[in-house]
Every structure is written in C-alpha cells, then in structure tokens.
Amino acid sequence: MAQWVTIWRAAQLVQVPRGTLQERVRKGEIELSEGLVSTERLLELYPNLRLEASGMLERVTQIRDEAFGRRVRERILPSQEVLAQRLFRQSQELADTQRHLQRYHALVIAQRDRLREFNTQAGGDDARLLALERQLTDGLARVLATEPVDVLDVMDDILKVMSAQVTLRPSGHQFSVEGHDTLLQAGLRAGLNLNYGCGNGSCGMCKMRVIDGQVTRVMAFDYPLSEAEKQQGYTLMCAHTAASSEITLETLEAAGPADIAAQQIVTTIRAVRELAPDTRLLHLQTPRSHRLRFLAGQSVTLGRIGTAATAGDDVRATYPIASCPCDDRNLHFFIAREPENALSRQVFDATLKAGDAVNLWGPVGEFVLADSVHPLVFAACDTGFAPIKSLIEHALSLDSAPSLSLFWLATRKDGHFQANQCRAWSEALDPFEYALFTDSDAAAGARQVAAAMRADLFDIACDFYLAGPEAFVTELASALRSAGVPAAQIAAGVV
Ligand code: FES
C-alpha cells in the first residue's frame, strides 16, 4: 500500500536534489496530495531504486568499519540517548498500529462467525449471507497474504531513526537533523535564515515553540525561560535536538537583510593562505559564543585592532564573505593585492598573521538569494567570485534550485584562483555546470560571458546573480536586459 511522504523525505529516499522533484511536480509528473508524494508514484518514476543502491545500507555498514571510527558515527548517527528516544517512540507507534490491527482482525473474524450463525439459523442457503461470508473470507486471505516489501517504506523507517524531519511554522520550510546536530545547527546547514544570536543558550534569540513531536536537551543553557513560556512549549533551538522522527516547530526566520542585526565581533585569524601570487585567503574565526549571523552574498568591514605600532593607521576595509552562513564561525575572504588598501598591505606583508585579532562589523549588503524556484545563473569577475561562492554554497544547502550555472571571468593575471573548487562542485553535483573566461578588459569579458549565456540560457526563466567590478556588472546586466531578461530576475553586487 502506498505511503505518503513530504517532498523533503522523498528527495532523501530517491537520492535526488529536492529541486528535481519540485520540477517534476511543476511539470505534472508528480501529483501532490496535501503537499505529500505517494511512495507508489516515486517507485514508478525511479523503478530501479534498491535499498543497496540508495547508499543507505552502505552508510549504515560504514559505521562498523573501524577506519571511519568516531567521526563517521557522529556525522551519521545521533547520540545513544537520542537514538534510544527515537527508537522508543517508533516502537510505541508500531505497538499502537499492531494493537489496532489485532483488534480489527478480531472484529472481522467475529462478524464472519456471526454471519455463519445467521445463515445456519436461516437454513444454510441464504445466497446473500453466503456471498457476504465469502467476501469476508477472501478479503482476509488477501490482507494476510505476504507481499513483497516496499523498499521505500523500509528506507523511510531507517531514515526516521537516523535523521529526524523538522517542519517550521509559519514558513513551511523543512530540514532534517542528522548526527549530533542541534536543531539550530541542522537548520543553518539546510540554508535556512533562522533567528539566533549566541549559539550557546544565553541570548534567547533562537527561541521556538514545539507544536508537534518531542525535543530533547543536548546542552545546558543559561537563558531564563519563564514558567508561562515553558507551559506553552517554548524552548531554545541551540540547546535541543529532535527526539521524535518528525517534529513541527514555530520559530522566526529572517526574510531579508533588514532582519539581520548589525554586529561587532572580535575574531581571530586562523590562517592566511596564498591562492595565487596576488590573492590571499583570509580565514577568520569568531568566538564560540559570538558567531556572525549573515546572509550569503553579504559583506563585512574588517579592521585591525590598534597596537602601539599600528595606532593611527586606517586599516579598515569592506570585503564580501566568501563562505556559507551555514558555518557561522569560520569566515573566508579573498584579499587581492591592493597597495593603496592598508588592510590588504598588512595581509600581504604578513603584518597580519595567524593568531592575530581582527575586528569585524556588519553584515551589510542586499546582494542575497531571492526566494525562488528558477534555475540559478551566477556570473563573477575576479574576486567577485567571493560573494558568488557564498551564494552557490547557500543554494546547495537549500537544495531547491533545479540547476546552477557559473560563468567566471578573470581579468587579472591570477586567473581563476579557485578553479579547483568549481571542478569539485561540477564533479560532485549533477545540476552544476561552469565555464571559465579570460579577458583583460572587464566590459569586453562581460560581452563574452553574455554571448555564452545567450547560447543556452536566455530562453529559460532563470535568476541571474552578477558580481565583480562595476564595468563588468553594468555591461552584463545591460546585455541581459536587452536580451529580454526581466530586471527583477537580475541581482548585481559590485565588488
Ligand atoms: S542562539 Fe542564543 S540562546 Fe540560542
């Protein structure tokens, strides 16, 4: 018998991006009933699906392999306590279902026996009673017959224990909680713009209300919830994980940059790494108790903490963040060699080095992903790749775009200093394609990129994200508009 599962769970079961299933829903290949997909339809569309092929058994058996050790166990499975709670609740559901089935079975047998009795009392030849009795006997035989196991049901049952599914109200967003993640960590990993602050249970900004299901505390917290809040089911996302396999929570999510408060954080340099002769990767880390809440594509201002040697120097500069908001402690920046920029000078002459403190203010900027189901097209010029990389990583976490394309123009001699990253995305992800361009003139390069896009993208309703120097962004945006792309589908960030 068909089961009904959410799109989120369906994508996990058949191992395809959620965007792919949503696309099939739009094309009418999958019908939804109250937002749910039937497992029967999924098996029709993916007939070769086998438990072994899904990689799920492999993931479970990996746990037995000592070489993967604790790291694999932690990534895949929740703690023993959480696992025990989920198994307990699943066993309760199974026991309930079994009890109901036994009662229904006893009821049907009793009705059949009564029919026999009536028929005997009536002389044993009432055709209607005989037909009814036969119908019950045949029906029972059909119900009790052993049928082949539905592979999706088995996989769904395993997934329910390994990873819980969370639905948020009022947005309807969904995500799964794996391993030792808290609800907050899992939500951020899924690319959601959840409301939070400290991440360690002291500010109360991640407060949520449990509407359905059970959560369990995985960390002590200081934030004082009132008795009334506790009664109404309020608690903290950063200190809890899911104890039931399905839970529904009510919580706040940022709708856009205006919902993200300005922050000031003293960070520490984890590393400065050469990506190319004139490009460095600056890796900053925030304190555990003070992470940066930002949206992919936004920028921050960095400033050197004053020392006797640097007092009076203006060492502030604004850079786009090149990493994903799903890792809010580790912030990456691409720093180009710019002799007139004091911060860049200090990065290149090693005045700024691992272990040094750097002040950070922000985030700022409106160059963020729109809520959309269109294919996404990204175009970057030089270090404009920084916000584009952040947006791509965020889009991959969200898993809702049917496809992602990247066009990267290099005008500097450093070229495509993260071409290996593009290759890695392309090899690992079906819906990701990229093309690299070189031209010493940003505007001429933009025209080259526009021509390449025109070849296969202009007739599709895509959302375009462009980042780089003004000449590149202006030229490309204008080419896109002249080709008929609506202005609302073009977002531009000057870097
Ligand atoms: S983020 Fe501060 S209490 Fe949860």
Residue 148: asked if its preceding bond is cis (omega within 30°), the reply is no
Residue-averaged pLDDT of the chain: 86
The pair of structure tokens assigned to 159 is 């997934």
Mutate to test the pocket of ligand 1, among 188, 196, 215 (most ligand atoms within 8 A of CB): 196
Angstrom distance (rounded) from CA 87 to CA 244: 9
d(CA 101, CA 85): 24
What is the separation of C-alpha 81 from the centre of its chain, rounded to a whole number of angstroms? 25
Which pLDDT belongs to residue 73?
57
- Residues 89-116 pLDDT 10s: 878 888 888 888 888 888 888 888 888 8
Choose the most confident range, by mean pLDDT, from 144-148, 173-177, 473-477: 473-477
Alpha-carbon span 322 to 270, nearest angstrom: 15
Check: CB of residue 292 under 8 Å from CB of residue 263.
Answer: yes
Tell me, rounded to whole angstroms, the distance of Cα 416 from its chain centroid: 27
The number of the ligand 1 atom at minimal distance from the alpha carbon of 237 is 4
Q: If residue 390 lies in a helix (H) or strand (E), which one and from where to where?
A: helix 385-398
The CB of 187 under 6 Å from ligand 1? The reply is: no
Least confident window among 28-42, 161-175, 367-381: 28-42
Atom of ligand 1 nearest to the CA of 199: 1
Residue linked to tokens 């995305």: 425
Confidence (pTM): 0.76
> Tens digits of per-residue pLDDT, 467-486?
999 999 999 999 999 988 89
Q: How far is the CA of 234 from the centre of ligand 1 (A)?
A: 13
pLDDT at residue 247, as a whole number: 94
Compute CA distances 301 → 18, 110, 219, 304, 314, whole Å.
35, 77, 33, 10, 12
Residue of 193, 217, 236, 251 best suited for mutating to test ligand 1, as the one with most atoms within 8 Å of CB: 236
**pLDDT for the residue 83:** 81
Work out which ligand 1 atom sits closest to the CA atom of 239: 4
Cβ of 431 closer than 6 Å to ligand 1, yes or no, is no
Answer yes or no: is the C-beta of 199 below 6 A from any ligand 1 atom: yes
Contacts of 478 (CB under 8 A, 6+ apart): none
Residue nearest to atom 3 of ligand 1 (CA): 201
Q: From the CA of 236, give the closest atom in ligand 1.
A: 4
Quickly state the pLDDT bin for 312 (edges 50, 70, 90). very low
Q: For residue 364, name the pLDDT band (cuts at 50, 70, 90).
A: very high
Q: Which of 29-43, 334-348, 381-395 has the lowest mean pLDDT?
A: 29-43
- Our mutation pick for probing the ligand 1 site, out of 206, 234, 252, counting the most ligand atoms within 8 A of Cβ, is 206
Nearest residue (by CA) to ligand 1, atom 1, is 199
Phi and psi at 299, nearest 5°, equal -120, 165
Phi-psi group of 285: left, alpha or beta (phi > 0 → left; psi -120 to 50 → alpha; rest → beta) = beta
**Residue 196 alpha carbon, nearest atom of ligand 1:** 1
Q: Is the pLDDT of residue 53 over 50?
A: no
Determine the pLDDT at residue 197.
86
For position 68, what pLDDT does the model report? 46
Instruction: Compute, in angstroms, the gap from residue 199 CA to the centroid of ligand 1.
Output: 4
pLDDT of residue 187: 93
Ligand 1 and 205: CB distance under 6 A: yes
Q: What distance, in Å, lies between the first and last C-alpha atoms of the chain?
A: 55
Mapped onto helix, strand or coil, the DSSP state of residue 406 is strand
Pairing verdict, β 463-468 and 376-381: parallel
How does residue 308 score in pLDDT terms, banded at 50, 70 and 90?
Answer: very low
| Alpha-carbon torsion angle 83, 89, 94, 95, nearest 10 | 120
What is the tens place of the pLDDT at every residue in 324-340? 998 889 999 999 999 99
Percent share of the chain, pLDDT over 90 = 48
